[in-house]
A and B are shown apart, each in its own frame.
Chain A
Amino acid sequence: MLPNKPIKETAMQSLSNRKKIIEQKPMNFWERMYLPAIAKGLGITIRHFFKKIPTVKYPEETRPYSKNFRGQHSLKRDEQGRERCTACGLCALSCPAEAITMTAAERKKGEEMLYREEKYASVYEINMLRCIFCGLCEEACPKEAIYLDGPHVTADYLRKDFIYGKDKLVEPTFDITKLIQDKTS
């Protein structure tokens, strides 16, 4: 048995001045009628009835995205449609989630139209389940080859399908002159 020591009374310091002393007294006749309270409640609900509804009706409306929204990665090409990535590995090094892996390869003769630098990434994979979309790879890249400017990464059924290779990451090729013509015309 513990000794039954009286707890030392200390003046409780109030942390904030929001303390409210609640006293319970029996309701008076007016309160027991409930009608004023009901009227008050009805007033509250009718005010909400005419309030603006904050819901966004999703498939028809979408919320505006932030200007610096970071979505799926894309590996960029230069003006001549060549891959910019030189497989330096700085993105993989900077990645805090270790989501990026790559295999470097040497550019052969006749591939100058495909790769800008002499070294390129023959395999470039990002595990989208690991990626935290922090954007550090974007910052680390000295060749301006990777940007998180895509849409949301979509859902899938299997884990292996979340490892995105170059087929999904590299920008599709386009004719730059045609694009410029379209823009100017």
Chain B
Amino acid sequence: MEGAFILEKLILVVIVFTVSLVIAMYSTLAERKIAGFMQDRHGPNRAGFGGLLQPLCDGGKFFFKEEIIPAGAHRPLFILGPTLAIITACISSAVIPWGQTLTVGNREVVLQVADINVGVLYIFGVVALGVYGIMIGGWASNNKFSLLGAIRAASQSISYEIGMGLSLIALLMVTQTLSMSEIVAQQSGFVNWNIWVQPIGFLIFMTCAFAECNRVPFDLPECETELVGGYHTEYSSMKLGLYMFSEYINMFVSSALMAALYFGGYNFPFMHDLGLSQNWITILGVLAFFLKIFGFIFFFMWIRWTLPRFRYDQLMNLGWKMLIPLAIANIVLTGVITLIKDTYFA
């Protein structure tokens, strides 16, 4: 029994890991294609059919590039930086419930790597860790541009984590649980999605997720026009590749989080009216979940090719003077509505 359990989880871990890596890989192509279409041109279309082999070419190129570690750099930390970035990006997908249960033989397989009862808290911890990769890499480069990028990343993450946490508190007041699987299970069907009860919270969460992923319009840590390349100025070869990769994995995981927390995760409309067996509903649910995730990834890219970058003071103003008060107001509003509902309509 124990052996089978470990094997089952191991297979699931490998699948989740592979899928997130492949999606991150093809996000790079999707980004360039979408950028192309939005600027009235074709994206990369030379390698393979419609450029489908482009990510492989890019990866191959990254591996064959010369690897430079600057003379003044702190060697161990310089190597630790991208390692930490990619590890923290990968492990946050552990608590996301990808689907309901599959019945294989007489075993019920839960499509979630770890169903811990503090799932939301775990994600928070891992996301907070993510800035260490950037911070250490930027500092160890011994370059002022890298250091500036790293400092920006650190202060940006700290500022926006508060807004993100406060927006989630309002959500947790509604769901009454910290477990990811329970939060998703509560949103069955279409009308129970959390977006309908927490629209402001979702908006704050999404804005903060953009900032946490260092995506445009919050990509000040790697702001090319001011900081050469930001925190990864001194990085080359696959180390740079790992930083890029971790950014795309982060994007995938935050899309999955948004879909799971606010858009019902694996739930889709009329899922109980179809009269299908549990296995089929699970499979369709996984597909629906990934459809939502891809939608959010597209939205990330759509925003990137629409909005210009914020100035740093605007970024701080938005974080501290707008999002945090708005999030607190949202908590109060949620509390008042819950109280009224419990007193008069219970």
Contacts and interface: CB of A to CB of B under 8 A. Distances in A.
Contacts of B45: 57
Contact of A46 (B41, B302, B307): B302
Interface stretch (B32-40, B75-83, B188-196): B32-40
B305 interface: yes
A42 to B, nearest CB: 5
A45 B302 contact: yes
Secondary structure at the A interface, as helix, strand, loop or mixed, is helix
Given A55-B41, A57-B45, A49 B34 contact: yes
A44 B306 contact: yes
B40 A42 contact: no
A40 to B, nearest CB: 10
Interface in A1-59: 38, 41-42, 44-46, 48-51, 53-55, 57
Interface string B284-321: 00000000000000000011011100000000000000
B40 A54 contact: yes
Contact of A53 (B34, B41, B307): B41
Q: How big is the A interface, by class?
A: 10 to 19
B305 A45 contact: yes
A48 B39 CA distance: 7
A91 B306 CA distance: 57
Contacts of A42: 302-303, 306
Contacts of B303: 42
Contact of B38 (A45, A54, A55, A57): A45
B48 to A, nearest CB: 15
A41 B302 CA distance: 10
Contacts of A38: 306-307
Contacts of B305: 45
11 contacts: A38-B307, A41-B306, A44-B306, A45-B38, A45-B305, A48-B37, A48-B40, A49-B37, A53-B37, A53-B40, A53-B41
Interface of B: 34, 37-42, 45, 302-303, 305-307
